Amino acid sequence: MSRTDPDPHATTDGVPPGGRVDRFFGVTARGSTVGREVRGGLVTFVAMAYIVVLNPLIIGTVPDSTGTYLGGGDAPDLPAVAAVTALVAAVMTILMGLVGRFPLGLAAGLGLNAFIAYGVASLPGMTWPMAMGLVVLEGLVILVLVLTGFRRAVLRAVPRQLKTAISVGIGLFLTLVGLVNAGFVRAPVGGGTPLELGVGGSLRGWPTVVFVVGLLVTVVLVVRGVRGALLIGVVVATALALVVQAVFDVGGQAPDGSNPTGFGLTVPEAPAAWLAWPDLGLLGQVSLVGAFAAVGAVTAALVVFTLVVADFFDTMGTMVAVGAEGGLLDEEGNPLGSQRILLVDSLAAVAGGAASASSATSFVESAAGVGDGARTGLASVVTGAAFLVAVVASPLVSLVPYEAASPALVVVGFLMMSQVTGIRWDDPGVALPAFLTIVLMPFSYSITVGIGAGFLTYVLLAVVRGRAREVHPLLWVVAAAFLLYFTVGPVQDWLTGAA
């Protein structure tokens, strides 16, 4: 469902319906209330809060090519990485609320951070400040694309049904993320199938009970139309997790695979201290152009290109999916205020690199908050304020384990899946690209891959069917970019070998 609402400040009688907050964010104009926005913002924070714990484990535990960890030491400094991760998420999400006026949370992007840690920082001669410098450059490139109108033009060039497929695919992606994070499905220890149910094909362990109870409570509340169903489900599951850990001392899963029935990322325990003064020493530890001399201009340029493509289309898919979930798309399927949204997102990439927190981007988990009623930028301000608290209260964030937050993602996946009826399955020229978009997002664990496969297939089938003239010129450019994106490894090998 979409709606046209170009001016969120307008009302039917020309008089703003509420106070300053209502008028500024257009709360009533978008059919919401301040209470719903606050609740939705908190749900988004709870769904995203894991990044404060997970991002340091990804980029903070991998040394660069010189053996130095992020921050310049010879050992990981996870609290410092957690502090800048929460700070960037707080500032950029609040900015999204105030400027973008859209219910999107932003933080260090998963996938992007892993690529930077394992694929960039480890390059011979590369240091962490150089790697973060490439992230800043990526954000600046995207900022230029936004300011020139190119990024918005690409968004408008995408056929409506492919946008629908992106939303559906992200719904399945969210569902898989939730199931995997909760350990409901996981990779088998001895190989065989890519995934299996629980441990050894069976549901085991108290954390699984926490997830199942949280999911059932959330589903029942959603079916009965209870307001705040997702947030209530998370709170109930978190309370149960705290009781389970206190009574049974379940503990956490170990990196070596031992204790597979323990909690996933965080163990829900009352922390020794609720507040901790943040170490913000990572801010500004960036070498903007050092990588070009260290690893060569070709390699550095290809790294920036890869980051640009991944971030460019991840954000496009996320904002379309979140907008579709909240009825915040115009008649062409584009998010309301898309130019402002894209501007903030591009600045987030720059900020993430400058703070050594990795490239920050829009989080698809924002759909959880939208599913619970968020419709305006006020929800983003609430989410950002919660992240601001997390800067000094990171121990409190660790109270919510994966198993308690994941039910919300699964339910939101179901809600987004309902849009699949908007695709013309009787037209193979659209249906096949849509199908590949939908299935490759969860199967490849990448939103970008699904979008790229859909775009390339759409252009190819248009040519085969003699309808090449119907393809928007920008889609040819995008398809060419994705062709390079999918083959960047061989191209890089060939170029560096030729050099």
**Whole-number pLDDT of residue 15:** 38
Measured from the Cβ of residue 247, the count of other Cβ atoms closer than 10 Å reads 9
d(CA 304, CA 321): 26
pLDDT tens sequence for the chain (499 residues): 344 344 444 443 343 556 889 889 999 999 999 999 999 999 999 888 878 877 887 788 789 999 999 977 887 887 888 899 999 999 999 999 999 999 999 999 877 887 788 778 888 899 999 999 999 999 999 999 999 988 888 878 888 888 888 878 878 988 898 899 899 999 887 777 899 999 888 999 999 999 999 999 999 998 997 777 877 888 899 899 999 999 999 998 887 778 898 998 778 887 777 777 888 999 999 999 999 999 888 778 878 887 887 788 788 888 988 998 888 988 878 888 889 999 999 999 999 999 999 999 999 889 889 988 899 999 999 999 999 998 987 666 667 788 988 888 888 788 878 888 889 999 999 999 999 999 998 998 887 788 889 999 999 999 999 999 988 888 898 888 888 888 877 877 787 675 5
Four-point Cα dihedral 372, 373, 379, 380, nearest 10:
60
Token pair of 157, please?
Answer: 């060039």
* Phi, psi for 21 (deg, rounded to 5): -60, -45
**Hey, CA dihedral for 280, 282, 285, 286, is it positive or negative?**
negative
> CA 198: distance to chain centroid?
25
What's at 454, amino acid-wise? G
Residue 123: predicted pLDDT: 84
- Which residues neighbour 329 within 8 Å (Cβ) at sequence distance 6 or greater? 2, 3, 320, 323, 335, 336
Q: Is 20 exposed, middle or buried (0-12, 13-18, 19+ CB in 10 A)?
A: exposed
As a whole number of angstroms, the distance between CA 222 and CA 178 comes to 17
Q: What is the pLDDT of residue 474?
A: 85
Length of the chain counted residue by residue: 499
What's residue 147's pLDDT? 93
So what's the pLDDT on residue 18?
62
Looking at residue 292, what is its pLDDT?
93
The per-residue pLDDT for 47 is 85
Phi, then psi, of 281 in degrees rounded to 5:
-65, -15
Give pLDDT, residue 361. Answer: 92
Amino acid at 370: V
Which residues, listed in sequence order, are joined to residue 185 by a DSSP beta bridge? 197
Residue with structure tokens 């252009």?
459
CA-CA-CA-CA torsion sign (300, 83, 342, 374): positive
At residue 498, the pLDDT reads 58
